[in-house]
Chain A
Amino acid sequence: MKIGVRIMPKNEVLDSQGRAVERTLKQNKKAFAEKLKGCRVGKYVLLEVDEADKSKAIARATEIAEFVLYNPLTETYEIEVLS
């Protein structure tokens, strides 16, 4: 089963990459400067888990995410089943 793990910096943590992307966007286009209200950069990890059962697969992916994929101090994660 394929499972995606989306990892994002916590809102309260300064996301220096997101800030840089936002600044670049706003500097380049007036419409972006007016309409862009925020930008944060995260990571996406694609896992292929050898589990047929959906809940077992989610449990396995959660275990993996908790083991190393995210840092609870600075990041949050979400899991989504892809196929």
Chain B
Amino acid sequence: MKDLDRKLKAYRISSGEYDRIQTLLGRPPRGIEWALFSALWSEHCSYKSSRVHLKNLFNKSPRVLMSFGENAGVVDLGRGEKVAFKMESHNHPSFIEPYEGAATGVGGILRDIFTMGAKPIALANYLCFGEPTAPRMASLVDGVVRGIGGYGNCVGVPTITGQTEFHESYNKNILVNAFALGLFREGEPILSAKAQGVGNLVVYVGAKTGKDGVHGASMASEAFDDDNSAKKPTIQKGDPFYEKLLIESCLEVMREKLVVAVQDMGAAGLTSSSFEMAARGEVGFNIHLDRVPLRDSSMTPEEILLSESQERMLLIVEPKNLAKLKTVFARWDLDAEAIGEVTKGPEVELFWQTESLCRLDPKVLVDEAPRYERPFYVWKNKNRVEESDVKKAVTPDIKKILTVMGDVRGNGRSWVFSQYDQRVGAKTAHDCRDSVGILRLPDTGRGLGMTLGCRPYLMRFDAKVGAIDSIAYPALELAAKGIETMAATDCLNYGNPEQPEIMSEFVATIEGMSAQCEALGAPIISGNVSFYNETMGENITSTPTTGLVGVCDSVEHLPKSHFVNKNSEVYLLSNVQMQISGLWSEVARSPTVGHGDIDVKSHARFVELTRKLVSEIRLEATRVVGKFGLGYALARMCEGRLGFAVDTAALRSSGIQSSDFFVEKLYQAILVVNSDHALKLRERFNELAGGAQAPIKLERLGTVVEDKFSLGDNLDCKVSEIQSAYQTSWEVLIAGLS
């Protein structure tokens, strides 16, 4: 019995799961089956704690062509253009070895995209670091950013947007979430991961298999303890050069229709890719492990099955096409090896030379994986107070804006994004400097916008509000550039799901995100869940990262995110349903308080109105008001010598007070317009708002001026003070960076 306990622990299988395996097989598992169940029943591969809730995500829309269950979701943008996109976490590997962890995170998400047949054209990343003074933090920041740049730059896909957060809850568990997007031009095929056609060959393509990352998938499903050194050998190393060759060659064979189905060998390597492909297609496989190209000839069959060596793909190919396929790969200096064939099944049988190692129905491993209904409680509003108390929690002071601009929480991110190639591909219209990344689509000339969401401090305030905001805020950011949100992806980073508090936040997140997506008509087409982000019992802030993608008709005259011309007029467009003390409270180390609630339907109308206004009226600049409220947002728009001065008379008539520049209000957007177009803006707003939706307002705030930044009531400073605070170098803010 002691032996069994040890085995269960080694393979991270619970005793309940062991009983389930026995029932399914009608006998105890044996030999290599232990490793198979360990990998495919891990949280990482099976989504066993989240599956029952994920099915509630809003994902219905006629424009969704591929969704959950495939390597990435695909959405039809109309006019012959389609995109595939997805986001994935690489948190644990990045904490252990930041450069390689982040780099392979980028590599993995790119493979998910081109596996679908789409050419990767954009990357983005969402990073959460701990406090700058936390142990190892400078080297984690440095390593992660270098790793992302090292991989993305080399493989030739531009990084066009991203977000970087700092908070103590990430001190021992940073988050590295990578987003990738690929484009299908008219007539290009969408590939599936569903194996088909008895007698077809299972072909292995890409790098040789080594011992990297063996047991990685079950490691990612386990909380950190302090002894990470013992886990170090499992880290994978990526090769972006090899990936580039793989992208070019795979897209070539796909477009020549030489491939029936394809899957990337990601978490749990050959095991998950082969069993999942077979299960999806309801077929069987015979796989000959001795035919797998090896980097290390001493590897055991178990190690071959579980290796997470990077840059490898599994293809299903008709026998008549094998020779042609090999020719293409040879041209790109890559090997393609037939390692098995598709059978009627239902079993997948693994061979080592003539010996059968295991014969299992893939459904047992994939479809019959356990599903847990972890306990949670029904969500109730948190930290709500009277409106006047929110105001009291925030004291207006221009120095506070300058202070947070010189703090990692409010400072510029150019140290990060200047290390990424933002223009390779020659489609970039708005880069990381802007609040939204925008590419020009080559065939129709339309703009393809993308932006990432989730503000962790809102999750700490109230997870339901934070979850709604993770869709509501980026959707408004897109709308403020004239872009209509088409679909979203998510990457849900949470602590230990066995704790009801965490599970409750998770369930509230699904509800909140889904409700806002439905109101916007924007389906969630792909996603990833990362649980057990905890170290020594401390959970991270629940962080549901999102990526929203949309289109606009043209990339000409897109509004910038900063002031462009002196004397232009500055307006505030708002639909305020909630007010919170926001990030100011966290900076002051006092509790965040708020008043009100977000009505997702009202917000969806506001988003649509904003988008119409922006696409119809020529605006110079737009910016959504976010962290630190309106005053900070206006300060962020200063550019060169251009600053801002309030129009005191206008403020008096609209009743805007100095506290309104500091309280965070959900939601507002700043619109900057040349005075020639200002009248048209006001008229069009009145038509669109139609008077009926009272909370939606357009108010004049002031004017773009030179050198001066003034919010009235002695809230003044020089533009140069803002610039120097905002551009404080990260070498100063994060000791140990160089």
A interface residues with partner B (beta carbon < 8 Å): 20, 23-24
Question: Could you give, for residues 693-734 of chain B, a 1 whenever the CB lies within 8 Å of some chain A CB and a 0 otherwise?
Answer: 000000000000000000000000000000000000000000
Instruction: Say if the beta carbon of B388 comes within 8 Å of chain A.
Output: no
Q: Shortest beta-carbon distance, B139 to chain A, in Å?
A: 11
Complex Cα spacing A30 to B87, Å:
46
Q: Shortest beta-carbon distance, B340 to chain A, in Å?
A: 34
Q: Which B residues lie within 8 Å of A20 (CB)?
A: 738
Query: What are 3 of the A-B contact pairs (CB < 8 Å)?
Result: A20-B738, A23-B738, A24-B738
Q: Shortest beta-carbon distance, A81 to chain B, in Å?
A: 27
Interface residues in B650-697 by Cβ distance below 8 A to A read none
Residue of B nearest to A20 (CB): B738
> How many residues of B sit at the interface, in one of the four size bands?
under 10
The 3 closest A-B pairs by CB, nearest first: A20-B738, A24-B738, A23-B738
Q: Which A residues lie within 8 Å of B738 (CB)?
A: 20, 23-24
Complex Cα spacing A20 to B738, Å:
9
Complex Cα spacing A23 to B738, Å:
10
Q: Shortest beta-carbon distance, B665 to chain A, in Å?
A: 45
Interface residues in B533-576 by Cβ distance below 8 A to A read none
Complex Cα spacing A20 to B737, Å:
12
Complex Cα spacing A24 to B139, Å:
13
Q: Which B residues lie within 8 Å of A23 (CB)?
A: 738
Complex Cα spacing A2 to B299, Å:
26
Q: Which B residues lie within 8 Å of A24 (CB)?
A: 738
Complex Cα spacing A24 to B138, Å:
14
Residue of A nearest to B738 (CB): A20
Question: Could you give, for residues 102-139 of chain B, a 1 whenever the CB lies within 8 Å of some chain A CB and a 0 otherwise?
Answer: 00000000000000000000000000000000000000
Q: Shortest beta-carbon distance, A41 to chain B, in Å?
A: 15
Q: Shortest beta-carbon distance, A1 to chain B, in Å?
A: 23
Question: Could you give, for residues 617-657 of chain B, a 1 whenever the CB lies within 8 Å of some chain A CB and a 0 otherwise?
Answer: 00000000000000000000000000000000000000000
Q: Shortest beta-carbon distance, B150 to chain A, in Å?
A: 15
Residue of B nearest to A24 (CB): B738
Q: Shortest beta-carbon distance, B734 to chain A, in Å?
A: 15
Q: Shortest beta-carbon distance, B337 to chain A, in Å?
A: 25
Complex Cα spacing A23 to B736, Å:
12
Q: Shortest beta-carbon distance, B618 to chain A, in Å?
A: 47
Complex Cα spacing A24 to B737, Å:
11
Complex Cα spacing A17 to B207, Å:
30
Question: Could you give, for residues 278-305 of chain B, a 1 whenever the CB lies within 8 Å of some chain A CB and a 0 otherwise?
Answer: 0000000000000000000000000000
Complex Cα spacing A24 to B738, Å:
9
Q: Shortest beta-carbon distance, A31 to chain B, in Å?
A: 20
Q: Shortest beta-carbon distance, B411 to chain A, in Å?
A: 24
Q: Shortest beta-carbon distance, A51 to chain B, in Å?
A: 25
Q: Shortest beta-carbon distance, A40 to chain B, in Å?
A: 18
Q: Shortest beta-carbon distance, A39 to chain B, in Å?
A: 15
Q: Shortest beta-carbon distance, A56 to chain B, in Å?
A: 30
Complex Cα spacing A70 to B717, Å:
55
Q: Shortest beta-carbon distance, A20 to chain B, in Å?
A: 7
Residue of B nearest to A23 (CB): B738
Q: Shortest beta-carbon distance, A33 to chain B, in Å?
A: 16
Complex Cα spacing A23 to B731, Å:
15
Complex Cα spacing A41 to B738, Å:
18
Q: Shortest beta-carbon distance, A23 to chain B, in Å?
A: 8
Q: Shortest beta-carbon distance, A27 to chain B, in Å?
A: 9
Q: Shortest beta-carbon distance, B293 to chain A, in Å?
A: 21
Complex Cα spacing A80 to B723, Å:
55
Q: Shortest beta-carbon distance, B731 to chain A, in Å?
A: 12
Q: Shortest beta-carbon distance, A19 to chain B, in Å?
A: 11
Complex Cα spacing A24 to B142, Å:
15
Q: Shortest beta-carbon distance, A26 to chain B, in Å?
A: 12
Complex Cα spacing A74 to B738, Å:
25
Complex Cα spacing A6 to B738, Å:
28
Complex Cα spacing A61 to B70, Å:
50
Q: Shortest beta-carbon distance, A45 to chain B, in Å?
A: 18
Q: Shortest beta-carbon distance, B737 to chain A, in Å?
A: 12
Complex Cα spacing A58 to B604, Å:
73
Complex Cα spacing A75 to B738, Å:
26
Q: Shortest beta-carbon distance, B736 to chain A, in Å?
A: 10
Complex Cα spacing A24 to B736, Å:
9
Q: Shortest beta-carbon distance, B135 to chain A, in Å?
A: 15
Q: Shortest beta-carbon distance, B56 to chain A, in Å?
A: 51
Q: Shortest beta-carbon distance, B579 to chain A, in Å?
A: 47
Q: Shortest beta-carbon distance, B732 to chain A, in Å?
A: 15
